[in-house]
A and B are shown apart, each in its own frame.
Chain A
Amino acid sequence: MAAIGAAAAVGITAIATAYAQAKIGAAGIGALAEDDSLFGSVLILTALPETIVIFGLVVALIATGFI
């Protein structure tokens, strides 16, 4: 049960991150096409949703008793 919970935690948050990054990434490439000096900001914005999956990882580790 704990293993299924851990898998769900990582899996679902990974999908959520991917969905967010896909949208931000597409918009970011659009912005870069207009002005490539925005690279740093776009990189940050694209990287932001990764925190979601890190939370998923933490929950998974708690569920499996690693922490």
Chain B
Amino acid sequence: MKPAKMCKISITGHKDQLQKTIDTLYRLKLFDIQTYDGELDTGNPFDEAEEFSQMLVDTRSLLSTLPEAEGTGSFQLSQLANDIETVKEKVDEFERKQAELADEKRDVKTQLDFLKKLKGAKISIEDLEGSDTLETFVGKFDKEELEEATDHDLYEVFEGKDLNLLAYRKDRGMQEVLREIGATETKPPQIDYTGDLEKVLTTLKNRRDGIKSDLDSLQEEYREYARKWRPKLEDAESFLTERVEKAEAPLSFATTDSTFIAEGWIPHDKFNELGEELHRATGGKIHIQEEQTDEEPPTKHENNVAVKPFESLTDLVSVPRHNEIDPSFLLMLTFPLMFGFMIGDAGYGLTTLAVFYGGYRLFPAASEIFKSLMYASIATVAFGLAFGDAFGYVIFGHHSQLASATGIHLFEQIPILFHRAEHLGDVFTLSVVIGLAHVNLGYLVGFYNEFMKHGLKEAFLEKISWILLEIGAFAWYVFGAQVGAPVLLISLVMLYVGEGVEGMVEIPSLLSNILSYFRIFGVSVAAVSLAAVVNAMADPLFGMGNAVGFALGTVVLVVGHVFNTFVKIMEGFLQGIRLHYVEMFTKFYEGGGRKYAPFGGTE
């Protein structure tokens, strides 16, 4: 429940032992290096650092360009520099050829698009240019209108599909007339061929197909090349990353002419393990000691397997400080319940589970969050069964639609808590109860945090005063002012002593925090109604009693419920998590810790 206890250690040794020390630290993935900032010099990176960093940059740049490809492979360090050079040249060549073909394709497309519009006009491409005596105009205009507007016949119009070509004698300016009839001009692009329009169109189409097949085969060749090299480069990348990290580690250490001192944080219970491993690696030629310090250690979450996925949800707001309760376990307890209660439908529980599982497989970076959401889906199924709802249909209970549809009366016998659509008043009351419980749970955790940091008195004044305030208000409501007023007064005094004026100002926010839990009611109503709307749209279609109606009804159901699934994921997640972040965490959570990042590992 609390982050792991950390200790600061310093490792001192002769520079001869530096490499072995770094290798061991990297392998153990325990030591969170603290960059040295003092009067001694910091160390120099190993000689290989520069060369390897350069190769790493090149490798990463190649990996970002090369097409994706599966496979395994290994590289040889002695060959790597040459290999990178070779692959770079080849990749550049592929990219250049691809760009050239793409340019040409675009060029041919422009010509084709233009000429297609002129299709049907009996012209040669040269005609577009005009001649010493003839001027040309390509554009959209009406031939009859032109005839009417012109007072001579020293021109000719060649009509195409969408565009016309007008050729006229230079000494007979037609611009005025064209403007009058509202002709719009299309400037011909540079055409690569001459001769009959139809023939050129065929030539261009052939060329377009040629380019397409060239491009396809080039891409296939490129992918083949990537399949050969990508796995090797990926292998090289992970090797180089490790070597560069190791080579640059001395930059964070303090050094003298012959010794080095590395400072950093490790989990307290790993102190002995780290010491033994380092002594074994260096033959005991190294000194490790625990430092006494009041610096703030980094935070290492320490939770069991069930709570682990919720750590990312905690870190999303802020990493906990080392000496406060890690709220991940609270999220594990209440977030899935809230999500499940709000959506409360066995059908959507299963569909959201499928979506989250998909996310879990597809996005490894966010896999922990999706895992935590899978808990929420399971809670949704559980609540769905308790409410007897699946996709908005009543499945269990005395008026089970499933029983009447299938004729199996067993479904009616299965007991349910209550049917939400008919007992929204209960959901409403429950929302406030959940709110009170949740907010006060926050105060109790806050009490513990304060107690650990500042002692019982502060904890009591700052956190219990709030709970007393609620009790006072409740007593006033139930028993009247004689009982309520004194309790309220005591709580207000405690609050003022504990938190000062700020506490007084915060009082209305307690009310707004608790009222905020009405969103549970709001989302529940929306969840019930959205499902009912989809079913109400599909029912008349099924009622038509023929195949078309059945097919359309099925489509409406599938599309509608898929849409609803995503709406519900968004509502359930955002509203559920917000109630934790804003309403509950503010009662106790400080956050702002630095996440433990051991050398050589990702955590």
Interface residues of A (CB under 8 A from B): 39-41, 43-44, 47-48, 50-51, 54-55, 57-58, 61, 66-67
In the complex, the answer to whether B317 meets A44 with C-beta atoms within 8 Å is yes
In the complex, the number of residue pairs spanning A and B with C-beta atoms less than 8 Å apart equals 44
In the complex, the answer to whether B316 meets A54 with C-beta atoms within 8 Å is no
Q: A39-B316, A40-B317, A44-B317 are in contact. Are A51 and B581 (CB under 8 A)?
A: no
In the complex, the answer to whether A54 meets B317 with C-beta atoms within 8 Å is no
Which residues of chain B are within 8 angstroms of A47 by Cβ–Cβ distance? 574, 578, 581-582
User: B519 within 8 Å of A by Cβ?
Assistant: yes
In the complex, the answer to whether B582 meets A66 with C-beta atoms within 8 Å is no
In the complex, the answer to whether A54 meets B518 with C-beta atoms within 8 Å is yes
User: B415 within 8 Å of A by Cβ?
Assistant: no
Alpha-carbon distance between A44 and B519 when the two chains are bound, in angstroms: 15
Instruction: For the complex formed, measure the closest distance between the CB of B428 and the CB atoms of chain A, giving whole angstroms.
Output: 7
Which residues of chain A are within 8 angstroms of B575 by Cβ–Cβ distance? 50
- 6 of the cross-chain contacts (CB-CB < 8 Å) are A44-B581, A47-B574, A55-B512, A58-B518, A66-B425, A66-B428
Alpha-carbon distance between A44 and B582 when the two chains are bound, in angstroms: 7
Alpha-carbon distance between A15 and B518 when the two chains are bound, in angstroms: 18
In the complex, the answer to whether A48 meets B582 with C-beta atoms within 8 Å is yes
Q: Chain B: interface residue count, which band? A: 10 to 19
Q: A50-B578, A67-B428 are in contact. Are A41 and B512 (CB under 8 A)?
A: no
Q: Which of A43, A48, A61, A67 contacts B316 (CB 8 A)?
A: A43
Which residues of chain B are within 8 angstroms of A44 by Cβ–Cβ distance? 317, 578, 581-582
Q: A43-B581, A44-B578, A51-B512 are in contact. Are A57 and B316 (CB under 8 A)?
A: no
User: B318 within 8 Å of A by Cβ?
Assistant: yes
Main secondary structure of the interface of A (DSSP, over half): helix
User: B410 within 8 Å of A by Cβ?
Assistant: no
Which residues of chain B are within 8 angstroms of A51 by Cβ–Cβ distance? 512, 515-516
Which residues of chain B are within 8 angstroms of A40 by Cβ–Cβ distance? 315-318, 581
In the complex, the answer to whether B578 meets A57 with C-beta atoms within 8 Å is no
A-contact bits for B557-580, CB 8 A (1 contact / 0 none): 000000000000000001101100
* Residue of A39, A48, A54, A58 contacting most chain B CB atoms (<10 Å): A54
Which residues of chain B are within 8 angstroms of A55 by Cβ–Cβ distance? 512, 515
Instruction: For the complex formed, measure the closest distance between the CB of A7 and the CB atoms of chain B, giving whole angstroms.
Output: 16
User: B540 within 8 Å of A by Cβ?
Assistant: no
Interface residues of B (CB under 8 A from A): 315-318, 425, 428, 512, 515-516, 518-519, 522, 574-575, 577-578, 581-582
Instruction: For the complex formed, measure the closest distance between the CB of B178 and the CB atoms of chain A, giving whole angstroms.
Output: 48
Which residues of chain B are within 8 angstroms of A48 by Cβ–Cβ distance? 582
Which single residue of chain A is at the shortest CB-CB distance from B586?
A44
Additional 10 contacts, C-beta under 8 A, given A43-B581, A47-B582, A51-B516: A43-B316, A43-B578, A44-B317, A44-B581, A47-B574, A50-B575, A54-B515, A54-B518, A57-B522, A66-B425
Which residues of chain A are within 8 angstroms of B574 by Cβ–Cβ distance? 43, 47
Alpha-carbon distance between A58 and B318 when the two chains are bound, in angstroms: 32
Which residues of chain B are within 8 angstroms of A54 by Cβ–Cβ distance? 515-516, 518-519, 522
In the complex, the answer to whether A41 meets B578 with C-beta atoms within 8 Å is no
Which single residue of chain A is at the shortest CB-CB distance from B313?
A40
Which residues of chain A are within 8 angstroms of B317 by Cβ–Cβ distance? 40-41, 44
Alpha-carbon distance between A57 and B522 when the two chains are bound, in angstroms: 8
Instruction: For the complex formed, measure the closest distance between the CB of A43 and the CB atoms of chain B, giving whole angstroms.
Output: 7
Which residues of chain A are within 8 angstroms of B516 by Cβ–Cβ distance? 50-51, 54
Alpha-carbon distance between A43 and B315 when the two chains are bound, in angstroms: 13
7 closest Cβ pairs, A-B complex: A40-B316, A47-B578, A40-B317, A44-B581, A54-B518, A51-B516, A54-B519
Instruction: For the complex formed, measure the closest distance between the CB of A17 and the CB atoms of chain B, giving whole angstroms.
Output: 12
Which residues of chain A are within 8 angstroms of B512 by Cβ–Cβ distance? 51, 55
In the complex, the answer to whether A50 meets B581 with C-beta atoms within 8 Å is no
Q: Which of B515, B577, B581, B582 contacts A58 (CB 8 A)?
A: B515
Alpha-carbon distance between A43 and B582 when the two chains are bound, in angstroms: 10
Alpha-carbon distance between A67 and B582 when the two chains are bound, in angstroms: 26
Which single residue of chain B is at the shortest CB-CB distance from A61?
B428
Which single residue of chain A is at the shortest CB-CB distance from B583?
A51
Which single residue of chain B is at the shortest CB-CB distance from A47?
B578
Which residues of chain B are within 8 angstroms of A61 by Cβ–Cβ distance? 428
Instruction: For the complex formed, measure the closest distance between the CB of A33 and the CB atoms of chain B, giving whole angstroms.
Output: 18
Which residues of chain A are within 8 angstroms of B578 by Cβ–Cβ distance? 43-44, 47, 50
Instruction: For the complex formed, measure the closest distance between the CB of B467 and the CB atoms of chain A, giving whole angstroms.
Output: 22
Alpha-carbon distance between A55 and B512 when the two chains are bound, in angstroms: 8
Alpha-carbon distance between A67 and B522 when the two chains are bound, in angstroms: 14
Alpha-carbon distance between A34 and B277 when the two chains are bound, in angstroms: 42
Alpha-carbon distance between A38 and B581 when the two chains are bound, in angstroms: 14
Q: Which of B425, B428, B519 contacts A50 (CB 8 A)?
A: B519
Alpha-carbon distance between A43 and B369 when the two chains are bound, in angstroms: 15
In the complex, the answer to whether B425 meets A57 with C-beta atoms within 8 Å is no
Which residues of chain A are within 8 angstroms of B425 by Cβ–Cβ distance? 66
In the complex, the answer to whether B518 meets A57 with C-beta atoms within 8 Å is yes
Which single residue of chain A is at the shortest CB-CB distance from B316?
A40
Instruction: For the complex formed, measure the closest distance between the CB of A23 and the CB atoms of chain B, giving whole angstroms.
Output: 18
Which residues of chain B are within 8 angstroms of A50 by Cβ–Cβ distance? 516, 519, 575, 578
Alpha-carbon distance between A43 and B316 when the two chains are bound, in angstroms: 9
Which residues of chain A are within 8 angstroms of B522 by Cβ–Cβ distance? 54, 57
Instruction: For the complex formed, measure the closest distance between the CB of A21 and the CB atoms of chain B, giving whole angstroms.
Output: 11
